[in-house]
Amino acid sequence: MKVLFASAECAPFFKTGGLGDVAGALPKELAKKGINIAVVLPYFTKMPDIYKIQCEEVATFSVEVGWRHQYCGVKRLILKGISYYFIDNLYYFDREQLYGYEDDAERFAFFSLAIIKMLENIEFRPDVIHVNDFHTAMVPFLLKEKYQAVENFRAIKTVLTIHNIEFQGAYSKDLLPDLFGMGSERFNDGATRFRDGVNYLKAGILYADRVNTVSPTYAEEIKTAEFGFGLDGILRLEQGKLSGILNGIDYEMNDPETDQLILENFSLNDLSGKQKNKQALQKKLNLPVRTEVPLVGIVSRLTFQKGFHLVLDELTNFLEQDVQLVLLGTGDPGIEHSFRSFGERYPDKISVNIKFDVSLAQLIYAGADLFWMPSATEPCGLSQMIAMRYGTLPIVHEVGGLKDTVLPYDLTTKTGTGFGFSEFSSYSLMYSTLSAIDLYRKDQQTWQQLIKNAMKKDFSWEKSSQVYLDLYKEIIQVG
Ligand code: ADP
C-alpha cells in the first residue's frame, strides 16, 4: 500500500506545534508496519541547512493558481527510508513564519494544487492521500471536482485529519475562480461555503473519504455547538465517516533514558537523574537551586485556547506560596506581556522564557514536578504525554485528549497519573494545583508512585498507527 502524507509542517524540519510532531512521527511508524509512505511538505527556507543540503531536485513544472503561472520545484530528501518531497516556491515559502500571512489562502491553494500536479511528475503513485488540517484539506475536493477526468487519480482515496477545528482556512467568497481556476458552482451550492466565504476545512470534511480527529473525546466534542466552531452541523451530518484516533508521541525523541538535550538521563528504575535535571533547570534559569520546592512547568503556545488567562488570574496567589514556575512559550502579545511582568516582580519564583526552544522544552519536561495544561479545548495535546513520560505530573482541564490521556489523582484509591479539574475556572485550576502541591509536600511515597504510574503509560505510536493502517485498508477495500 502506498500513502502520501501531506502536511504544512513536520519535525525535525520545521514545526509550530502538535501537527509538526505528528507528521514527524506517524509516517515513521507506518513505514515500520510495511506501508510505502512518502511525505509532502512546503519547502520553507527556514529549514535548517543540514537538511537543505541533502535535498535533490526531482521535478520542476508550473502550477496555475487561478490566472497566475507559478514556478514549482520538487525536492526530495530521503531520511531513515522515508521520502520527503518538498514543494519549492520562494514567493510563497521564503518567509520568517510558517503561517499568519495575508495571502495564506493563496499559499495553501498553491501547495494543494502543487501536490496534485506533483503526482504527474514523480514516480510515486499513492493509493491514499492523507491530508492534515485546512492547509491541505482542499486536496480531496480538488481531486473530485477539478481533476475528476484524470484516470490515474480516480482510484485515490483520501483521509483528512483535523488537528484543531479552530483553524479552518476561512477566506473570501471568490476563491474558487480566483485561486483554483474553477467555476463557482461548488460555492453556490454550499459545498465549500461557510458564512459567505470559502472554508477549506469544510470542503475537506465533505469530500474526504474518511475524517478523523486526534482523540476520541474531541471527536465527540466537535459535533457540539460548544466545541465545533460552527462546523458541528457538518460533522454531525458526516459522523458516519468521523472517528477519533489518539495521537502518540515520538518515543525516540522523547525518551528520558537517551535524550541528549537533558543534563542527566533517567528511567523508571532509577529516577535519581530527575532531581539533577531539576537542579540544572533552576541553575540555568537563575532560580534558587532547591530540590524540595515544587516546580511547575509550562511549555506551550500562549493563547486563550490554552487557558493561560486562568493561570494569570490566580498567579499572584500562587506565587505567594513556596513554589517555582518555569514558563516557555510564545503567542498572544497580551499574555506574553502579563507573564513578563510577573517575571520582573517575582524573579526568584518564576522564570519567563518567551521563545521557541526545543532544548529548554526537554529540560523542563525532565526537571519539573508538575506541568500546567489548563486548555479550554484540547484536540489531543502532546505536551502532557511528554511530561508524563518524563515523570512530570500534568494538571489538566479534563477536555478532549487531556481527558483521554491523564488519569486524575483519586484521593481514596491513591491512583492516577496527574491531576484534573472539570470546571473551566481559575478557582478550579488553583484548587487542583494546591491539592497537588499539598500531596507533594506531605506524601512523597504516593507522589513517587504517581510518577511511576505516569512513566509506565504507553503513549507510543504503536497502537494508533495500527488504527490508521486499518482505516487505509478499509477505504481501499470499499473501492
Ligand atoms: P499544539 O499543537 O496545540 O500547540 P501540542 O501539545 O499538541 O499543542 O503540541 C505542542 C508541541 O510543541 C510539543 O511538542 C511542545 O513541546 C512544543 N512546543 C510548544 N511551545 C514550544 C516552545 N516555546 N518551545 C519549544 N517547544 C514548544
Per-residue pLDDT reduced to its tens digit, 39-81: 999 999 999 999 999 999 999 999 999 999 999 999 999 999 9
3-state secondary structure of 215: coil
pLDDT in tens, 71-129: 999 999 999 999 999 999 999 999 999 999 999 999 999 999 999 999 999 999 999 99
Residue 286 in contact with residue 351, Cβ under 8 Å?
yes
Residue 215 in contact with residue 246, Cβ under 8 Å?
yes
Which of 133, 300, 378, 464, when mutated, tests ligand 1's pocket best, judged by the most ligand atoms within 8 Å of its CB? 300
> What was the pLDDT predicted at 478?
67
How far apart CA 81 and CA 240 sit, in angstroms, is 35
Indicate if ligand 1 lies below 6 Å from the C-beta of 248: no
Rounded distance from Cα 267 to ligand 1 centre (Å): 23
463 backbone dihedrals φ, ψ, rounded to 5°: -70, -50
Question: How many residues appear in the chain?
Answer: 479
323: which 3 cell numbers?
Answer: 513554589
For the segment 192-215, the average pLDDT, to the nearest whole number, is 97
> Which band of pLDDT confidence, cut at 50, 70 and 90, is reported for residue 469?
very high
What's the mean pLDDT when you consider all of the chain? 97
- Report how far apart the first and last C-alpha atoms of the chain are (Å, whole number): 14
Rounded distance from Cα 382 to ligand 1 centre (Å): 7
Indicate if ligand 1 lies below 6 Å from the C-beta of 21: yes
> Which band of pLDDT confidence, cut at 50, 70 and 90, is reported for residue 5?
very high
**Per-residue pLDDT at 479 exceeds 60:** no
Indicate if ligand 1 lies below 6 Å from the C-beta of 167: no
Which of 164, 299, 353, 371, when mutated, tests ligand 1's pocket best, judged by the most ligand atoms within 8 Å of its CB? 299
> Which band of pLDDT confidence, cut at 50, 70 and 90, is reported for residue 477?
confident
* Residues 350/351/356/362 CA torsion (nearest 10 deg): -90
Which protein residue has the closest C-alpha to ligand 1 atom 2? 18
**Per-residue pLDDT at 364 exceeds 60:** yes
For the segment 199-220, the average pLDDT, to the nearest whole number, is 98
How far apart CA 229 and CA 57 sit, in angstroms, is 40
Residue 372 in contact with residue 296, Cβ under 8 Å?
yes
98: which 3 cell numbers?
Answer: 510558517
List Cβ neighbours of 249 (8 Å cut-off, separation of 6 or more): 21, 25, 382, 385, 386, 389, 459, 460, 461
How far apart CA 139 and CA 337 sit, in angstroms, is 39
pTM beyond cutoff 0.85 = yes
Measured CA to CA in angstroms, residue 95 lies from 56, 297, 447 at distances of 21, 31, 46
Rounded distance from Cα 186 to ligand 1 centre (Å): 36
List Cβ neighbours of 374 (8 Å cut-off, separation of 6 or more): 306, 307, 308, 310, 311, 395, 396, 397, 421, 424, 429
